[in-house]
Amino acid sequence: MDEVMAIWAEWLKPSAGLPTVQWSLLLALAAATGHLLQRYSGLPKVVGYSIVGTLAGLAGFSGAAWPLQGVALFLLELGVAVVLFESGGRIALRWFRHNPMVLLQSLLESVLTAVAVYYVLRWLDVRASVAEGVALIAMAASPAVLSRVVMDTRAAGPVTERALVLSTLSTFYALTLVAARAGTLHREETNLLATLYPVAVVLGVSFVVGALLALALRTALRFMSPASENTSILLITMIAAGTALAAHFGGSAPLAALIGGLLLKQLHPRPWAWTRQLGTAASLLTMLMFVLVSVVASKADWNPGVVGLVAAVVFTRAACKIAGVSLANWGSGTTWRQAFWTGCAMSPMSSISLLLVSQFVSSSMSLGPRIASIALPAILMMEILGAIIATFAIYRAGESAKPWEPLPATLAPGDARG
Protein backbone atom coordinates (compact mmCIF):
# COMPACT_ATOMS: atom_id res chain seq x y z
CA MET A 1 0.00 0.00 0.00
CA ASP A 2 2.90 2.38 0.70
CA GLU A 3 4.14 1.95 -2.90
CA VAL A 4 0.64 2.60 -4.29
CA MET A 5 0.31 5.72 -2.14
CA ALA A 6 3.71 6.98 -3.29
CA ILE A 7 2.74 6.63 -6.97
CA TRP A 8 -0.65 8.22 -6.28
CA ALA A 9 0.93 11.15 -4.44
CA GLU A 10 3.10 12.08 -7.44
CA TRP A 11 0.16 13.09 -9.62
CA LEU A 12 -2.61 13.72 -7.10
CA LYS A 13 -2.08 16.79 -4.90
CA PRO A 14 -5.42 17.64 -3.25
CA SER A 15 -5.75 20.99 -1.48
CA ALA A 16 -6.61 19.32 1.84
CA GLY A 17 -3.73 16.87 1.63
CA LEU A 18 -3.51 13.24 0.58
CA PRO A 19 -4.32 11.81 4.06
CA THR A 20 -7.70 13.59 3.92
CA VAL A 21 -8.53 11.79 0.67
CA GLN A 22 -7.36 8.46 2.10
CA TRP A 23 -9.46 8.79 5.25
CA SER A 24 -12.51 9.98 3.30
CA LEU A 25 -12.42 6.93 1.03
CA LEU A 26 -11.74 4.59 3.94
CA LEU A 27 -14.70 5.95 5.93
CA ALA A 28 -16.93 5.71 2.88
CA LEU A 29 -15.96 2.05 2.48
CA ALA A 30 -16.52 1.45 6.22
CA ALA A 31 -19.99 3.02 6.07
CA ALA A 32 -21.02 0.84 3.12
CA THR A 33 -19.55 -2.30 4.69
CA GLY A 34 -21.23 -1.67 8.04
CA HIS A 35 -24.60 -1.16 6.36
CA LEU A 36 -24.34 -4.27 4.18
CA LEU A 37 -23.08 -6.44 7.05
CA GLN A 38 -25.99 -5.46 9.26
CA ARG A 39 -28.49 -5.85 6.45
CA TYR A 40 -27.44 -9.33 5.33
CA SER A 41 -26.11 -10.85 8.57
CA GLY A 42 -27.91 -9.01 11.37
CA LEU A 43 -24.60 -8.06 13.04
CA PRO A 44 -24.12 -4.47 14.29
CA LYS A 45 -22.51 -1.93 11.96
CA VAL A 46 -19.51 -1.51 14.26
CA VAL A 47 -18.31 -4.99 13.23
CA GLY A 48 -18.13 -3.82 9.63
CA TYR A 49 -16.30 -0.63 10.61
CA SER A 50 -13.74 -2.66 12.56
CA ILE A 51 -13.22 -5.20 9.77
CA VAL A 52 -12.53 -2.46 7.21
CA GLY A 53 -10.10 -0.74 9.58
CA THR A 54 -8.35 -4.03 10.33
CA LEU A 55 -7.89 -4.89 6.66
CA ALA A 56 -6.61 -1.37 5.95
CA GLY A 57 -4.12 -1.61 8.80
CA LEU A 58 -2.90 -5.04 7.71
CA ALA A 59 -2.50 -3.72 4.15
CA GLY A 60 -0.17 -1.00 5.41
CA PHE A 61 -2.50 2.01 5.61
CA SER A 62 -0.29 4.89 6.77
CA GLY A 63 -2.97 7.37 7.82
CA ALA A 64 -2.60 6.64 11.56
CA ALA A 65 0.86 6.74 13.10
CA TRP A 66 1.52 5.03 16.44
CA PRO A 67 1.78 6.26 19.13
CA LEU A 68 -1.14 8.58 18.48
CA GLN A 69 -0.46 12.30 18.60
CA GLY A 70 -1.72 15.56 17.21
CA VAL A 71 -5.02 15.59 15.32
CA ALA A 72 -5.50 11.79 15.45
CA LEU A 73 -5.15 11.75 19.24
CA PHE A 74 -7.50 14.72 19.62
CA LEU A 75 -10.18 13.13 17.42
CA LEU A 76 -9.97 9.89 19.37
CA GLU A 77 -10.24 11.76 22.69
CA LEU A 78 -13.14 13.83 21.35
CA GLY A 79 -15.03 10.76 20.14
CA VAL A 80 -14.50 9.01 23.48
CA ALA A 81 -15.49 12.17 25.37
CA VAL A 82 -18.78 12.53 23.47
CA VAL A 83 -19.66 8.87 24.12
CA LEU A 84 -18.77 9.11 27.81
CA PHE A 85 -20.69 12.37 28.24
CA GLU A 86 -23.80 10.63 26.94
CA SER A 87 -23.04 7.55 29.08
CA GLY A 88 -22.66 9.68 32.21
CA GLY A 89 -25.94 11.38 31.36
CA ARG A 90 -27.74 8.03 31.66
CA ILE A 91 -26.74 7.54 35.29
CA ALA A 92 -28.93 8.95 38.07
CA LEU A 93 -27.01 8.89 41.36
CA ARG A 94 -30.20 8.36 43.35
CA TRP A 95 -30.46 4.93 41.71
CA PHE A 96 -27.38 3.81 43.64
CA ARG A 97 -28.96 4.99 46.89
CA HIS A 98 -31.98 2.76 46.24
CA ASN A 99 -29.94 -0.12 44.77
CA PRO A 100 -26.40 -0.08 46.23
CA MET A 101 -25.76 -3.63 44.97
CA VAL A 102 -25.16 -2.17 41.50
CA LEU A 103 -22.14 -0.33 42.87
CA LEU A 104 -20.95 -3.54 44.52
CA GLN A 105 -21.32 -5.38 41.20
CA SER A 106 -19.27 -2.68 39.50
CA LEU A 107 -16.48 -2.66 42.08
CA LEU A 108 -16.33 -6.45 42.32
CA GLU A 109 -16.14 -7.14 38.59
CA SER A 110 -13.56 -4.37 38.03
CA VAL A 111 -11.30 -5.34 40.94
CA LEU A 112 -11.64 -9.05 40.16
CA THR A 113 -10.72 -8.44 36.52
CA ALA A 114 -7.66 -6.33 37.34
CA VAL A 115 -6.34 -8.69 40.03
CA ALA A 116 -6.93 -11.88 38.04
CA VAL A 117 -5.37 -10.53 34.81
CA TYR A 118 -2.36 -9.27 36.76
CA TYR A 119 -1.65 -12.59 38.46
CA VAL A 120 -2.28 -14.62 35.30
CA LEU A 121 0.28 -12.51 33.43
CA ARG A 122 2.75 -12.75 36.31
CA TRP A 123 2.29 -16.54 36.24
CA LEU A 124 3.20 -16.35 32.55
CA ASP A 125 6.45 -14.53 33.46
CA VAL A 126 5.38 -11.05 32.37
CA ARG A 127 7.16 -8.20 34.12
CA ALA A 128 5.19 -6.73 37.07
CA SER A 129 4.89 -3.19 35.63
CA VAL A 130 3.72 -4.52 32.28
CA ALA A 131 1.23 -6.91 33.89
CA GLU A 132 -0.12 -4.06 36.02
CA GLY A 133 -0.63 -1.83 32.99
CA VAL A 134 -2.46 -4.52 31.01
CA ALA A 135 -4.59 -5.38 34.07
CA LEU A 136 -5.73 -1.76 34.46
CA ILE A 137 -6.59 -1.56 30.76
CA ALA A 138 -8.55 -4.84 31.01
CA MET A 139 -10.81 -3.29 33.65
CA ALA A 140 -12.51 -1.02 31.14
CA ALA A 141 -15.44 -2.28 29.11
CA SER A 142 -16.52 -0.24 26.07
CA PRO A 143 -19.64 1.95 26.40
CA ALA A 144 -18.94 3.10 22.83
CA VAL A 145 -19.30 -0.36 21.27
CA LEU A 146 -22.15 -1.34 23.59
CA SER A 147 -24.14 1.83 22.85
CA ARG A 148 -23.81 1.18 19.09
CA VAL A 149 -24.93 -2.40 19.56
CA VAL A 150 -27.92 -1.20 21.60
CA MET A 151 -28.77 1.34 18.92
CA ASP A 152 -28.57 -1.18 16.07
CA THR A 153 -30.60 -3.82 17.93
CA ARG A 154 -33.04 -1.26 19.40
CA ALA A 155 -32.56 -2.92 22.77
CA ALA A 156 -34.10 -1.88 26.09
CA GLY A 157 -34.41 -3.70 29.41
CA PRO A 158 -32.59 -4.49 32.65
CA VAL A 159 -29.66 -6.29 31.02
CA THR A 160 -29.10 -3.46 28.54
CA GLU A 161 -29.30 -0.70 31.14
CA ARG A 162 -27.21 -2.58 33.71
CA ALA A 163 -24.49 -3.38 31.15
CA LEU A 164 -24.30 0.26 30.02
CA VAL A 165 -24.02 1.52 33.61
CA LEU A 166 -21.42 -1.08 34.65
CA SER A 167 -19.38 -0.42 31.50
CA THR A 168 -19.40 3.31 32.24
CA LEU A 169 -18.33 2.79 35.85
CA SER A 170 -15.51 0.39 34.90
CA THR A 171 -14.31 3.01 32.43
CA PHE A 172 -14.36 5.62 35.21
CA TYR A 173 -12.08 3.46 37.36
CA ALA A 174 -9.71 2.62 34.51
CA LEU A 175 -9.36 6.21 33.28
CA THR A 176 -8.56 7.44 36.78
CA LEU A 177 -6.06 4.72 37.66
CA VAL A 178 -4.27 4.66 34.28
CA ALA A 179 -3.93 8.45 34.13
CA ALA A 180 -2.41 8.36 37.61
CA ARG A 181 -0.25 5.28 37.05
CA ALA A 182 1.12 6.44 33.69
CA GLY A 183 2.98 9.25 35.44
CA THR A 184 4.72 6.82 37.81
CA LEU A 185 5.20 3.91 35.42
CA HIS A 186 8.99 4.14 35.57
CA ARG A 187 8.93 3.57 39.34
CA GLU A 188 8.95 -0.07 40.36
CA GLU A 189 7.94 0.72 43.95
CA THR A 190 5.93 3.62 45.33
CA ASN A 191 4.58 4.32 48.80
CA LEU A 192 0.91 4.87 49.54
CA LEU A 193 1.12 8.67 49.39
CA ALA A 194 2.97 8.62 46.07
CA THR A 195 0.27 6.32 44.70
CA LEU A 196 -2.76 8.26 45.95
CA TYR A 197 -1.50 11.75 45.09
CA PRO A 198 -1.64 11.30 41.26
CA VAL A 199 -5.12 9.75 41.59
CA ALA A 200 -6.30 12.77 43.58
CA VAL A 201 -4.82 15.18 41.01
CA VAL A 202 -6.45 13.43 38.05
CA LEU A 203 -9.83 13.22 39.80
CA GLY A 204 -9.63 16.81 41.06
CA VAL A 205 -8.73 18.43 37.75
CA SER A 206 -11.20 16.25 35.82
CA PHE A 207 -13.97 17.08 38.31
CA VAL A 208 -13.34 20.83 37.97
CA VAL A 209 -13.40 20.68 34.16
CA GLY A 210 -16.47 18.41 34.21
CA ALA A 211 -18.28 20.67 36.66
CA LEU A 212 -17.58 23.76 34.52
CA LEU A 213 -18.88 21.88 31.47
CA ALA A 214 -22.05 20.83 33.31
CA LEU A 215 -22.69 24.34 34.66
CA ALA A 216 -22.18 25.93 31.24
CA LEU A 217 -24.63 23.54 29.60
CA ARG A 218 -27.13 23.86 32.46
CA THR A 219 -27.03 27.63 32.07
CA ALA A 220 -27.57 27.31 28.32
CA LEU A 221 -30.58 25.05 28.88
CA ARG A 222 -32.31 27.83 30.81
CA PHE A 223 -32.87 29.75 27.58
CA MET A 224 -32.16 27.20 24.82
CA SER A 225 -34.30 24.24 23.81
CA PRO A 226 -32.71 20.77 24.23
CA ALA A 227 -34.14 19.85 20.82
CA SER A 228 -32.43 22.76 19.05
CA GLU A 229 -29.55 22.20 16.66
CA ASN A 230 -27.75 25.12 18.27
CA THR A 231 -27.88 23.37 21.66
CA SER A 232 -26.30 20.27 20.13
CA ILE A 233 -23.58 22.38 18.51
CA LEU A 234 -22.95 24.08 21.85
CA LEU A 235 -22.71 20.67 23.51
CA ILE A 236 -20.13 19.20 21.15
CA THR A 237 -18.02 22.39 21.00
CA MET A 238 -17.94 22.64 24.81
CA ILE A 239 -16.87 18.99 25.02
CA ALA A 240 -14.19 19.70 22.42
CA ALA A 241 -12.91 22.64 24.47
CA GLY A 242 -12.85 20.51 27.62
CA THR A 243 -11.02 17.77 25.73
CA ALA A 244 -8.32 20.19 24.65
CA LEU A 245 -7.86 21.67 28.14
CA ALA A 246 -8.34 18.83 30.64
CA ALA A 247 -5.19 16.83 29.87
CA HIS A 248 -3.12 20.04 29.67
CA PHE A 249 -3.84 20.77 33.35
CA GLY A 250 -3.16 17.22 34.55
CA GLY A 251 -6.61 15.69 34.23
CA SER A 252 -8.25 13.27 31.82
CA ALA A 253 -10.39 14.63 29.00
CA PRO A 254 -12.69 11.55 28.72
CA LEU A 255 -13.01 11.41 32.50
CA ALA A 256 -13.95 15.10 32.62
CA ALA A 257 -16.63 14.53 29.97
CA LEU A 258 -18.02 11.55 31.89
CA ILE A 259 -18.17 13.59 35.12
CA GLY A 260 -19.74 16.49 33.21
CA GLY A 261 -22.52 14.27 31.86
CA LEU A 262 -23.06 12.72 35.29
CA LEU A 263 -23.34 16.12 37.00
CA LEU A 264 -25.58 17.57 34.30
CA LYS A 265 -27.96 14.61 34.76
CA GLN A 266 -28.33 15.56 38.42
CA LEU A 267 -28.84 19.26 37.59
CA HIS A 268 -31.14 18.59 34.62
CA PRO A 269 -32.82 15.22 35.30
CA ARG A 270 -35.35 15.46 32.47
CA PRO A 271 -34.76 13.20 29.43
CA TRP A 272 -32.24 14.62 26.98
CA ALA A 273 -33.32 15.30 23.41
CA TRP A 274 -30.10 16.65 21.90
CA THR A 275 -28.62 13.21 21.19
CA ARG A 276 -31.03 12.91 18.27
CA GLN A 277 -29.99 16.34 17.02
CA LEU A 278 -26.29 15.44 16.86
CA GLY A 279 -27.21 13.19 13.96
CA THR A 280 -24.70 12.62 11.17
CA ALA A 281 -21.85 14.58 12.75
CA ALA A 282 -21.77 12.35 15.86
CA SER A 283 -22.19 9.21 13.74
CA LEU A 284 -19.23 10.20 11.54
CA LEU A 285 -17.10 10.91 14.61
CA THR A 286 -18.02 7.54 16.13
CA MET A 287 -17.28 5.68 12.89
CA LEU A 288 -13.92 7.44 12.59
CA MET A 289 -13.14 6.38 16.15
CA PHE A 290 -13.84 2.68 15.51
CA VAL A 291 -11.93 2.62 12.20
CA LEU A 292 -8.97 4.43 13.78
CA VAL A 293 -8.83 1.92 16.64
CA SER A 294 -8.80 -1.10 14.34
CA VAL A 295 -6.25 0.47 11.94
CA VAL A 296 -3.83 1.13 14.80
CA ALA A 297 -4.45 -2.12 16.70
CA SER A 298 -4.00 -4.28 13.59
CA LYS A 299 -0.40 -3.07 13.25
CA ALA A 300 0.65 -4.87 16.43
CA ASP A 301 3.22 -7.65 16.09
CA TRP A 302 1.73 -11.14 16.33
CA ASN A 303 3.84 -14.12 17.39
CA PRO A 304 3.12 -17.40 19.24
CA GLY A 305 4.14 -15.92 22.59
CA VAL A 306 1.89 -12.89 22.20
CA VAL A 307 -1.04 -15.04 21.03
CA GLY A 308 -0.84 -17.07 24.23
CA LEU A 309 -0.73 -13.94 26.42
CA VAL A 310 -3.60 -12.29 24.54
CA ALA A 311 -5.74 -15.43 24.83
CA ALA A 312 -5.01 -15.61 28.57
CA VAL A 313 -5.99 -11.94 29.04
CA VAL A 314 -9.19 -12.25 26.99
CA PHE A 315 -10.47 -15.42 28.66
CA THR A 316 -9.52 -14.26 32.17
CA ARG A 317 -11.19 -10.90 31.61
CA ALA A 318 -14.38 -12.47 30.26
CA ALA A 319 -14.64 -14.94 33.15
CA CYS A 320 -14.08 -12.21 35.75
CA LYS A 321 -16.65 -9.84 34.23
CA ILE A 322 -19.29 -12.57 34.36
CA ALA A 323 -18.22 -13.82 37.80
CA GLY A 324 -18.07 -10.33 39.34
CA VAL A 325 -21.54 -9.35 38.14
CA SER A 326 -23.00 -12.71 39.16
CA LEU A 327 -21.42 -12.90 42.63
CA ALA A 328 -22.89 -9.53 43.65
CA ASN A 329 -26.21 -10.10 41.92
CA TRP A 330 -28.15 -10.99 45.07
CA GLY A 331 -30.53 -8.15 45.89
CA SER A 332 -29.60 -6.12 42.78
CA GLY A 333 -32.97 -6.51 41.08
CA THR A 334 -31.99 -8.88 38.27
CA THR A 335 -32.13 -12.65 37.92
CA TRP A 336 -29.04 -14.86 37.77
CA ARG A 337 -29.66 -15.44 34.07
CA GLN A 338 -29.81 -11.69 33.46
CA ALA A 339 -26.60 -11.24 35.47
CA PHE A 340 -24.83 -13.76 33.23
CA TRP A 341 -25.91 -12.00 30.03
CA THR A 342 -24.96 -8.63 31.57
CA GLY A 343 -21.42 -9.92 32.13
CA CYS A 344 -21.29 -11.18 28.54
CA ALA A 345 -22.48 -7.82 27.20
CA MET A 346 -19.52 -6.13 28.90
CA SER A 347 -16.95 -8.03 26.83
CA PRO A 348 -16.13 -5.37 24.15
CA MET A 349 -12.89 -3.36 24.24
CA SER A 350 -12.28 -0.48 21.87
CA SER A 351 -11.41 3.22 21.77
CA ILE A 352 -11.13 3.81 25.51
CA SER A 353 -8.69 0.92 25.87
CA LEU A 354 -6.61 2.26 22.96
CA LEU A 355 -6.51 5.66 24.61
CA LEU A 356 -5.27 4.06 27.83
CA VAL A 357 -2.54 2.19 25.94
CA SER A 358 -1.52 5.44 24.24
CA GLN A 359 -1.09 7.07 27.65
CA PHE A 360 1.26 4.31 28.78
CA VAL A 361 3.30 4.47 25.55
CA SER A 362 3.64 8.25 25.82
CA SER A 363 4.75 7.97 29.45
CA SER A 364 7.42 5.28 29.06
CA MET A 365 9.28 4.41 25.87
CA SER A 366 10.59 1.21 27.48
CA LEU A 367 7.55 -0.27 29.26
CA GLY A 368 4.83 1.35 27.11
CA PRO A 369 5.57 -0.66 23.94
CA ARG A 370 5.64 -3.89 25.95
CA ILE A 371 2.19 -3.10 27.37
CA ALA A 372 0.97 -2.23 23.87
CA SER A 373 2.30 -5.52 22.42
CA ILE A 374 -0.22 -7.41 24.59
CA ALA A 375 -3.03 -4.85 24.80
CA LEU A 376 -3.34 -3.90 21.10
CA PRO A 377 -4.07 -7.44 19.81
CA ALA A 378 -6.56 -7.93 22.67
CA ILE A 379 -8.31 -4.67 21.74
CA LEU A 380 -8.48 -5.66 18.07
CA MET A 381 -9.94 -9.06 18.93
CA MET A 382 -12.50 -7.77 21.43
CA GLU A 383 -13.65 -4.82 19.33
CA ILE A 384 -14.95 -7.30 16.74
CA LEU A 385 -15.64 -10.41 18.80
CA GLY A 386 -16.90 -8.37 21.76
CA ALA A 387 -19.51 -6.61 19.62
CA ILE A 388 -20.77 -9.98 18.38
CA ILE A 389 -20.90 -11.42 21.92
CA ALA A 390 -22.75 -8.33 23.20
CA THR A 391 -25.27 -8.61 20.35
CA PHE A 392 -25.85 -12.29 21.10
CA ALA A 393 -26.26 -11.54 24.83
CA ILE A 394 -28.88 -8.86 24.18
CA TYR A 395 -30.87 -11.15 21.90
CA ARG A 396 -30.63 -14.08 24.35
CA ALA A 397 -31.85 -11.78 27.13
CA GLY A 398 -34.89 -11.00 24.97
CA GLU A 399 -34.37 -7.22 25.05
CA SER A 400 -34.07 -6.43 21.35
CA ALA A 401 -37.08 -4.91 19.62
CA LYS A 402 -35.57 -5.95 16.29
CA PRO A 403 -35.59 -9.69 15.45
CA TRP A 404 -32.29 -11.18 14.29
CA GLU A 405 -33.52 -11.91 10.78
CA PRO A 406 -30.99 -10.85 8.15
CA LEU A 407 -32.35 -10.21 4.68
CA PRO A 408 -31.87 -13.06 2.19
CA ALA A 409 -29.05 -12.49 -0.26
CA THR A 410 -31.45 -12.80 -3.20
CA LEU A 411 -33.57 -9.84 -2.07
CA ALA A 412 -33.28 -6.89 -4.42
CA PRO A 413 -32.11 -3.60 -2.87
CA GLY A 414 -35.42 -1.92 -3.69
CA ASP A 415 -37.52 -4.63 -2.01
CA ALA A 416 -36.80 -3.52 1.57
CA ARG A 417 -35.55 -0.58 3.53
CA GLY A 418 -32.04 -0.90 5.05
What is the tens place of the pLDDT at every residue in 111-156?
Answer: 999 999 999 999 999 999 999 999 999 999 999 999 999 989 989 9
Cα distance between residue 114 and residue 135, in whole Å: 5
The answer to whether 89 and 147 are in contact (CB under 8 A) is no
- 274-297 vs 143-153: helix crossing angle, rounded to 10: 120
Angle at 69 between CA 361 and CA 65, to 5 degrees: 85
Instruction: With respect to residue 36, please indicate whether it lies within any of the assigned structural domains.
Output: no
Tell me the residue range of the domain where 196 lies: 75-401
Q: What is the DSSP string of 393-407?
A: HHHHTT-BSS---PP
| CA atoms 33, 39, 45, 50: torsion sign | negative
Within a domain: 260: yes
Bridge partners of residue 155, in order along the sequence: 400
* pLDDT computed for residue 406 by the predictor: 60
CB 29 within 8 A of CB 47: no
Q: Is 398 left (phi over 0), alpha (psi -120 to 50) or beta?
A: left
The pLDDT, as a whole number, for residue 407 is: 54
| Position 57 in a domain | no
Per the confidence metrics, is the pTM higher than 0.85? yes
Distances in Å between the Cα of 109 and the Cα atoms of 44, 141, 347 are: 26, 11, 12
Look at residue 240 in the predicted model and tell me its pLDDT: 87
Separation in Å, CA 416 to CA 33, 37, 229: 18, 15, 31
**Within a domain: residue 15?**
no
CA 141 to each of CA 45, 171, 214: distance values in angstroms, whole numbers, following the listed order: 19, 6, 24
271's CB contacts (< 8 A; 6+ apart) are none
Q: How far apart are CA 138 and CA 316, in angstroms?
A: 10
279: left (phi over 0), alpha (psi -120 to 50) or beta: left
pLDDT value for 60: 81
Q: Is residue 117 part of a domain?
A: yes
> Where does 128-270 have alpha helices with state H?
128-139, 143-153, 158-182, 192-220, 229-246, 253-267
CB burial of 121-130 (b: ≥16 within 10 Å; e: otherwise) equals beeeebeebb
Domain containing residue 159: CATH number = 1.20.1530.20
In a domain, 325, yes or no: yes
Domains identified in the chain, total number: 1
3-state secondary structure of 289: helix
pLDDT of residue 62: 74
In a domain, 49, yes or no: no
Give a yes or no: residue 228 inside a domain.
yes
Low-confidence ranges of the chain (pLDDT < 70): 1-18, 185-195, 270-281, 405-418
Q: Is 412 helix (H, G, I), strand (E, B) or coil?
A: coil
